[in-house]
């Protein structure tokens, strides 16, 4: 999958609409995790350096089409201003006379940020008129928001049909790294899939079981697989209506010669709360009134042995109730182990939520090959699904001829290292 990128666009003096994913956590009016902002800096800096007039646009949270002061993008603009070392003002609205005027006043090498797109219900509805209004601000469209690429919204699909659409450096890297997992991974190829439910990851399991050599299952979803093997899980989180599907996945893995790793010992607790009593027991001896909350040491050792010679690893989802520190040991230990595998030259790609939190809390992010900025988008990509926000971008011509309005790839800098969160390509 080879898309035209900002390197191919002639952006000097042009107005460039850049869809970024600045959906970041806020606390007391401050950004508490700026990873997604940093991930788009290479694209923003490149465009500004080329003399473009940059109009940045993002959503924040789920305001459901209504203005919510707690979801305004001013704290994001302040953080971006600090990171860029130049002022990035934020408009009062994504639309309106004031915004049109602000765009007109932009000079070459300057940027502004539109207010939260989702303050308008038309954004998520991919309303043609809303997309047309956004498109009126610019001459070129760039999508650098992989985290929203699985959504067919006005700022990810509608506008891309009205302006020449290009991929930003982050989008390019996400597509390249995830495509390699599906098309040409170094082997052995292992996947670690955790999290709460089988139902939300069934399609990705179906696709991966035909591509990986080792499949490690953890978290609440592993309980459903234990049930499928006839093992009682007590009061643990499990999807009893998905047991047959879990059996089907296990049968498919066996047929494909895939080694499946499930918990053989587990940490159980009387209640899934802080301060509760907990202990480690064999997986087949869970009492009816207890909850499985983490993997045990024997399971961790078995997982590490299975991953020891893997040349490619994809990880999505925690291995226990990660939000409670006492039950986060397994997830954090796997994060440390995978960092060491990456240090040894393995390709280690992480996508989604608490897996990323476990890495960041331990200061390991820079050691991983790639940490995806889109948990849901990365899973849908690995399901083999076409993402609307990716499909609408221009494909590179087979003969690599220059499209109208493009510039030679050789005249611009290569994608900056670490355009994703990891530092290695």
Q: Which helix (H) or strand (E) holds 38?
A: helix 35-39
15 is an active site residue? no
- Tokens 């939300």 locate to 200
Q: Quote the CA–CA distance of 369 and 207 in Å, as a whole number.
A: 22
275 is an active site residue? no
Beta strands at 140-143 and 111-113: parallel, antiparallel or unpaired? unpaired
Residues in contact with 289: Cβ distance below 8 Å, sequence separation at least 6, in sequence order: 234, 235, 270
Beta bridge mates, 112: 55
Residue 2 tokens, joined = 């080879």
Residue 107 tokens, joined = 């000079």
Residues in contact with 355: Cβ distance below 8 Å, sequence separation at least 6, in sequence order: 194, 315, 316, 317, 318, 331, 335
Other CB atoms within a 10 A radius of the CB of residue 308 amount to 13
332 is an active site residue? no
Q: Is 284 exposed, middle or buried (0-12, 13-18, 19+ CB in 10 A)?
A: middle
Give the alpha-carbon dihedral of 148, 168, 208, 283, to 10 degrees.
Answer: -60
Given the residues 3, 15, 36, 72, the one annotated as active site: 36
> Could you give the angle at the alpha carbon of 194 between the alpha carbons of 191 and 196, nearest 5°?
155
> Could you give the angle at the alpha carbon of 332 between the alpha carbons of 176 and 271, nearest 5°?
125
Given the residues 197, 247, 385, 424, the one annotated as active site: 197
Given the residues 376, 396, 407, 424, the one annotated as active site: 376
Cβ(149)–Cβ(393) below 8 Å: no
Given the residues 109, 200, 353, 384, the one annotated as active site: 353
376 is an active site residue? yes
Q: What does R_g of the chain's alpha carbons equal in angstroms?
A: 23
Any idea which residues carry the catalytic annotation? Answer: 36, 197, 353, 376
């Amino acid at each position: 999958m080879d898309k035209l990128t900002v390197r191919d666009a002639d952006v000097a003096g042009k107005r460039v609409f850049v869809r970024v994913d600045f959906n970041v956590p806020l606390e007391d009016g401050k950004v508490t995790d700026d990873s997604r902002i940093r991930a788009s800096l290479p694209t923003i800096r490149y465009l500004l350096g080329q003399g473009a007039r940059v109009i940045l646009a993002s959503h924040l949270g789920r305001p459901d089409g209504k203005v919510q002061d707690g979801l305004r993008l001013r704290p994001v603009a302040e953080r971006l201003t600090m990171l860029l070392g130049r002022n990035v003002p934020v408009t009062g609205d994504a639309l309106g006379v004031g915004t049109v005027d602000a765009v007109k006043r932009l000079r070459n090498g300057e940027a502004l940020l539109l207010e939260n797109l989702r303050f308008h219900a038309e954004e998520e509805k991919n309303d043609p008129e809303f997309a047309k209004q956004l498109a009126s601000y610019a001459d070129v469209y760039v999508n650098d928001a992989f985290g929203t690429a699985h959504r067919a919204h006005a700022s990810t699909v509608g506008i891309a049909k009205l302006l020449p659409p290009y991929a930003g450096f982050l989008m390019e890297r996400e597509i390249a790294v995830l495509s390699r997992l599906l098309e040409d991974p170094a082997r052995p190829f292992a996947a670690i899939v955790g999290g709460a439910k089988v139902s939300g990851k069934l399609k990705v399991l179906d696709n991966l079981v035909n591509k990986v050599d080792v499949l490690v299952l953890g978290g609440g979803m592993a309980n459903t697989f234990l049930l499928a093997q006839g093992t009682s899980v007590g009061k643990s989180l499990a999807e009893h209506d998905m047991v047959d599907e879990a059996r089907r996945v296990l049968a498919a893995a066996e047929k494909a010669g895939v080694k499946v790793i499930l918990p053989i010992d587990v940490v159980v607790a009387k209640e899934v709360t802080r301060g509760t009593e907990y202990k480690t027991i064999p997986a087949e001896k869970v009492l009816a009134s207890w909850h499985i909350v983490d993997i045990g040491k024997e399971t961790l050792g078995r997982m590490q042995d299975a991953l020891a010679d893997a040349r490619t690893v994809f990880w999505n989802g925690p291995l226990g109730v990660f939000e409670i520190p006492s039950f986060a040991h397994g997830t954090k230990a796997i994060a440390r182990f995978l960092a060491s595998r990456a240090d040894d030259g393995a390709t280690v790609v992480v996508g989604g939520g608490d897996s990323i939190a476990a890495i960041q809390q331990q200061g390991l992010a820079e050691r991983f090959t790639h940490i995806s900025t889109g948990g849901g988008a990365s899973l849908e990509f690995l399901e083999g699904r076409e993402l609307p926000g990716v499909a609408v971008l221009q494909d590179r011509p087979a003969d690599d001829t220059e499209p109208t309005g493009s510039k030679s790839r050789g005249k611009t800098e290569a994608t900056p290292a670490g355009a994703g969160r990891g530092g290695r390509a």
